[in-house]
Amino acid sequence: MPAERGQILLVEDDPTTAGTMAQRLRIEGYGVEVATGAVEAAASLERRVPDLLLSDLHLPDGSGEELFLSQRSRLAGTPVLVMTAYAGVDQAIRLMKAGADDFLVKPVEIQDLLGRVGALMARRVVPAADATLGVSAAIRRIEATVRRAAPSDCPVLLLGETGTGKEVAAKLLHRLSPRAAAPFVAVNCAAIPAELAESEVFGHERGAFTGAAMRRIGCAERAGAGTLFLDEVAELAPGLQAKLLRLLEGREYTRVGGSGTLAFHARVVAATNADLDQLVRDGRFREDLLYRLDVIRIEIPPLRMRRDDIVPLARQFLANASLASARGIRGLDSRAERALEEADWRGNARELRNRVERAAALADGPWVGVDDLLGGTASNGASPVAAVGTLAEAVTDAERRAVSAALAAASGEVEVAAGILGVGRSTLFEKIRKLGLR
Ligand SMILES: Nc1ncnc2c1ncn2[C@@H]1O[C@H](COP(=O)(O)OP(=O)(O)OP(=O)(O)O)[C@@H](O)[C@H]1O
């Protein structure tokens, strides 16, 4: 029977009880392995850690308590449900204090068992299964487009708010493409200073300009036959827009200060959270370049428009948070999951990831709660706006305080601070530079 809903290790010495429970759990879609005693259970846990341990406390060759305590480190992240006769309730409570999750009093009511098993399975930390982008209908449609686009060489334009996962989608496209073995090179068009942009993309020859002490290989060359990901493409300076257009049209380029032309083999994937059509209308982005980049357009909706993705993403982020397993965190409690589903997530998946990682570091029990996730924002501590002269000064002042507070809350981690502020990394880098904060 495939363990569609998860694998359970059932430790129960009475064959009739074990048989009835296992049969019923299998009908519900769980995979069940039965161990008849502590030794057999320990051997099974050594072979494979289940998604849930369901164990009687009274075993012929030891106790469920000893089994749990001796296997605790192996069971980190695995929900544990113990069964006990009424007389053993004290022991069950002691075990819950030591980290077991729930208990059932024997004789076990089958509906009670199914309810508790279902609840614990839903709360467990689920490791990232594969490369899929999410479970919502909207993101599945997007993933289908990515899969269809992967085999071709056509440029792809990814649109969406900051943190929606444009780079994640670009990497998936690359992994699924015949170019997967070649490099994926990301260049953040907003983060490179204008005067270095050309050399960043095309490279330069030694002595091409003051300070060019050595030849430099640009992103176009490093990408080889792989994928060149142009993030925040709307930020490209006009001069570089023209050069990029020539690169896409002629499939060749020259290093800055060089004379020979080099062939360009990579596939171009561009991304932006800006409205490129509007920028074209405003004369700030070349129409001919947009036409070249916009062959397959994929728009990733904000997280609040695909709320079904929130909890699975949060669980995945928690499973991947190194601190979570080190601190014995087992999952998100159900109130926390409901609260996550209702929040606005202006910073999208990036903000969600940052919140979950922070909570994994702060939570003091095995289950992450609402307060760990959503309690206190970085800007709570900010003082009221000081009296300043002009509106521009007031805005800069408020920005400086918000950015400083977010950086402090994020211990200087720009990516984390960007999530708190609901802006992209590069936007924040730019702000930090402009505000003279580093
Ligand atoms: N579908 C997803 N699955 C797993 N993680 C995701 C997903 N979408 C986004 N993330 C996570 O959210 C964060 C932001 O994702 P990403 O950098 O791809 O967003 P973006 O849209 O490119 O952001 P920006 O516009 O700021 O460059 C990353 O940490 C990424 O791992």
CATH code where residue 26 lies: 3.40.50.2300
Identify whether residues 236 and 273 lie together within a single domain. yes
| pLDDT at residue 165, rounded to an integer | 95
Ligand 1 center from residue 42 Cα (angstroms): 40
| Both tokens assigned to 249 | 């049209």
Q: Residues 97-153: pLDDT tens digits?
A: 777 888 899 889 999 899 899 888 876 655 444 447 988 889 999 998 999 999 999
In Å, how far from its chain's centre is CA 315?
9
Domain membership of residue 396 as a residue range = 380-434
- The structural domain count of the chain equals 4
Beta strands across the sheet bearing 156-159 = 184-188, 227-231, 267-272, 156-159, 296-299
Rounded CA separation 290/91 (Å): 68
Q: Which of 59, 91, 123 is the last residue of a domain?
A: 123
Q: How far apart are CA 403 and CA 347, in angstroms?
A: 15
> In the structure encoding, which two tokens stand for residue 316, read together?
């995945």
Q: Residue 169 sits in a domain of what CATH number?
A: 3.40.50.300
Centroid of chain to Cα 373: 15
Winning range, highest mean pLDDT, from 78-82, 229-233, 328-332: 229-233
Range list of H helices, 223-286:
238-250, 276-281
Protein residue whose Cα sits closest to atom 12 of ligand 1: 350
Q: Is 347 in the pocket of ligand 1 (CB under 6 A)?
A: no
For the Cβ of 167 lying below 6 angstroms from any atom of ligand 1, the answer is: yes
d(CA 35, CA 13): 7
Q: What percent of the chain has pLDDT over 70?
A: 90
Number of DSSP helices (H) and strands (E) in the chain, helices first: 20, 16
Answer yes or no: do 97 and 157 share one domain: no
Q: Are residues 227 and 354 in the same domain?
A: no
Atom of ligand 1 nearest to the CA of 167: 18
d(CA 355, CA 407): 14
Please report which confidence band the pLDDT of residue 170 belongs to, taking 50, 70 and 90 as the band edges. very high
- CB of residue 301 inside a 6 A radius of ligand 1: no
Domain boundary (301, 324, 342) is at 301
274 and 311: one domain?
A: no
Nearest CA to ligand 1 atom 3: 133
In-domain check, residue 1: no
- From 255, 284, 301, give the residue that closes a domain: 301
Instruction: Give me the amino acid identity at 410.
Output: A
171 & 60 share domain:
no
Which of ligand 1's atoms lies nearest the C-alpha of 316? 4
Give tens-digit pLDDT for 252-305: 999 988 888 999 999 999 999 999 999 999 999 999 999 999 999 999 999 999
Looking up residue 418, the CATH number of its domain turns out to be 1.10.10
Same domain for 82 and 33, yes or no, is yes
pLDDT at position 386 over 90? no
- Whether ipTM > 0.85 holds is yes
40 & 95 share domain: yes
pLDDT at 350: 94
